[in-house]
A and B are shown apart, each in its own frame.
Chain A
Amino acid sequence: MSGSESYKLLFIGEPGAGKTTCIESLSDIAPLVTDVRCTDELARLKENTTVAFDYGELSLGDQGRLLLYGLPGQSRFRFMFDVVRENLLGVIVLVDAASSLALDGLRETLDAYESAIRELPCVVALNKNGKPPSALLEGCEALLRERGMVAPILVADARRREELVRMFDLLFMMIENGVDPKTPTGEATWH
């Protein structure tokens, strides 16, 4: 990486998984947020939802800048991926670990973005619950394994920048060591 370059990182996940919070926590600039108030049953869980994308920037010092994109969680906005897909460095998949439907949310995300996740280095981050139940961790691992995907799974609080930086460390380690996300070993790494 060189100081003048910029790299794109994508945040995906179910509605309410914490994508907007992640970008707000990380961005050095005032983030672009395209939230509107929910008009469907999602309004019972959260007031606002993203309808285009969230955008922020994070300085990597002399190594360049990270451009942070967060896509809407609903699959009807899947087209937005084609808008941002060029030159993506990697993908962070966020999971609302406090939700009883967390595995359903992850399943929908993996189904909607499976091709992208297969092509790019990927980290799965369990948010909103510092001590997720082992059943959730095992469920996430099983979902990845049944799709032949490889991704580290870690627990991270989207409000805490230092915890999010750990995700980047993992992602960059995968990139630098040439981890092939298409390797169909079905193994996921725990952190």
Chain B
Amino acid sequence: MALTEASREACATALDTLLARCDGVTAAMLAFRDGRPYVDRVRKAPMQGKFAAMSSSLVALGQSILREVQGGTLDHVLVEGNGGKFVVASIPGSGGLLVIAVLANHDARLGLVLGHAKTCALAVSAAIA
């Protein structure tokens, strides 16, 4: 799967749409499965490269746990604290190449964040197909 400049721009547009449509989302990032950043969009402080590494670790650990407990395929990993939410998921159809990470305020509605994150993931999937 070759990622072109056009697909990168389409991915950035998908992240822009996510931030524009979902209240409470403050940052979103696409990262490679081995922990390198690909594209990110933020409202406030920049999303640092280490988030890419942490996101790939979370997805890998989530998949490992599900394998151990025969829990099927990973849908998403949610990290929630009293100051915010962090959701990570694999991009469907990318062969595991990319993961999406979404950062949201603590008062953002989890269902909306997950729903918009999945919609964004599908848009990214179409963009890189």
**A binding-site residues for B, Cβ under 8 Å:** 32-34, 36-40, 42, 49, 51-52, 72, 74, 76-77, 79-80
Q: B33 touching A51 by the CB < 8 A rule?
A: yes
Task: Provide the bound-state CA to CA distance between A49 and B56, in Å.
Answer: 11
A39-B97, A51-B35 given; A76·B60 CB < 8 A: no
For A39, give its contact among B36, B49, B68 (CB under 8 Å). Answer: B36
B60 touches A36 (CB 8 A): yes
Contact with A along B2-41 (1 / 0, CB 8 A): 0000000000000000000000000000001111100000
Q: How far is the CA of A34 from the CA of B35 in the complex (A)?
A: 12
Closest to A34 in B: B60
**CB atoms of B57 and A39 under 8 A apart:** no
Assuming the A-B contacts A79-B50, A80-B57, are A74 and B33 also in contact, with contact meaning beta carbons closer than 8 angstroms in the complex?
no
Is there contact, CB below 8 Å, between B61 and A76?
no
Q: How many A-B residue pairs have CB under 8 A?
A: 56
Q: Which residue of B lies closest to A32 (CB)?
A: B64
Whole-angstrom distance between the Cβ of A55 and the nearest chain B Cβ? 9
Interface size class of B (residues with CB under 8 A): 10 to 19
Question: Which B residues form the contact surface with A (CB < 8 A)?
Answer: 32-36, 49-50, 52-54, 56-58, 60-61, 64, 68, 96-97
Q: Cβ of A52: which chain B residues have Cβ within 8 Å of it?
A: 56-58, 60-61, 64
Whole-angstrom distance between the alpha carbons of A44 and B119 in the complex?
34
User: Among the interface residues B34, B36, B52, which one has the most CB atoms of the partner chain A within 10 A?
Assistant: B34
Contact partner of B33 (CB less than 8 A), chosen from A32, A33, A37, is A37
Q: How far is the CB of A79 from chain B (nearest CB, A)?
A: 6
How far in angstroms is the closest Cβ of chain B from A149?
Answer: 26
Given A32-B64, A52-B64, A76-B52, does the pair A40, B57 have CB atoms closer than 8 Å? no
Residues of chain A contacted by B54 (CB below 8 angstroms): 79
